Amino acid sequence: MEFAFETEIIEWRGPSPFFFAPVPATHVADISSAARRVSYGWGMIPVTAAIGDITFTTSLFPKDDGYLLPLKDAVRRQAGLTAGDSVTVTINIRPR
């Protein structure tokens, strides 16, 4: 399954800062349905994601009835992204 969306980068300021691209609510039901087949530990969903010509693998985090796409520092730096930036993301759910 492939999903494309625009979202705003957020930062979680824990002991180590993390950056995420929240998945819009319009995709949550479809992703939740696919999650039953591919999810592992804590509801994580393996995906291949793309921002522009940068492609990377990661897993969606379930959060507050939605999902967050974690952005690796190497991806953020290469794309020149930080908190508050708008970004277009494409994700493909991967089999386990």
Distance between CA 13 and CA 87 in Å, rounded? 20
Q: What is the pTM assigned to this prediction?
A: 0.90
- Residue 19's pLDDT is 95
42 vs 16: CA distance, rounded Å:
20
Domain ranges of the chain: 2-93
pLDDT-based confidence at residue 48 (cuts at 50, 70, 90): very high
pLDDT in tens, 22-45: 999 999 999 988 887 888 777 889
Q: How confident is the model at residue 89 (pLDDT cuts 50, 70, 90)?
A: very high
What's the residue count for the chain?
96
CA 51, 45, 60, 5 dihedral sign is: positive
Q: Which CATH architecture has domain 2-93?
A: Beta Barrel (2.40)
SS3 14: coil
